[in-house]
Copies of this chain bind each other. A is one copy, B any other.
Amino acid sequence: MNIILFEEQELDGGRVVLHDRRAVHIHKVLRATIGDRVRVGLVNGPMGSGRVASVVKGRPTRVELDVELGEIPTHQPEIDIILALPRPIMLRRILGQVAALGIGTLFIIQANRVEKSFWDSGLLEEGEYLEHLRHGLEQAVDTRLPQVRIFRKFKPFVEDFLPLVKDHYRFRILAHPYGTATLAGYLGPGEGRIVVAVGPEGGWVDFEVERFEAQGFRSCSLGDRILKVDTAVVALHARISAIRELLGRSAA
């Protein structure tokens, strides 16, 4: 936990009272005592510092912070991710990772090769996935919580929803082992949001590839290695970020 995050409703006249794992972290890991300052942030708001006003040991441990907020995070990350629902253990890891890497929205969708039982996962409940996203923000020192949107059916997502939002994206990437383009070949210089769609274990089926391509997605390959979904998500985010930084630089 590299930043202590709290919600708007926890803030009362500049003071935040903590009595959960955040209090334990401040007391046991940071070993902060009265007067010490810790890094804090308002979820989806500014970051700043919190001065420890009181520490009460016990069960639960209770810590009061007087917070000063001021550092406004920069604009929303420019990458959104469409993810065919992976198995729960992998989704949990991906939630933390995408929040740590920084994305705008995570669209979790159905696909042909998604196992039906994955949709029973408790992780798809807001209280559950938000917790894992927050862990990612706490790791990366950020306050900008990715949005999550869940589509339990593929066709309504790709035929009804995507047409409404696709023009928000300058670059639309379908990660696909048999894609003919490379990321570096497809991504160009200049501003603009990017959306990348990552398939299930076993990949997208032909019908799905066609539907995405009909919405202006370009099939891009990461090379001939088959990666696990969580590795692929991080690698795609990192490659896209690196290419954008490099092309932005050469264009400037």
Contacts and interface: CB of A to CB of B under 8 A. Distances in A.
Interface in A136-186: 139-142, 182-184
A224 B224 CA distance: 31
The prevalent SS among residues of A at the interface is: helix
* Copies of this chain in its oligomeric complex: 2
A102 B225 CA distance: 9
Interface residues of A, number: 32
A56 interface: no
Interface string A83-123: 00000000000001100111000000000000000000000
Contacts of A96: 228
Interface string A228-247: 10010011111101110111
B242 A183 contact: yes
Interface of A: 2, 96-97, 100-102, 139-142, 182-184, 224-228, 231, 234-239, 241-243, 245-247, 249
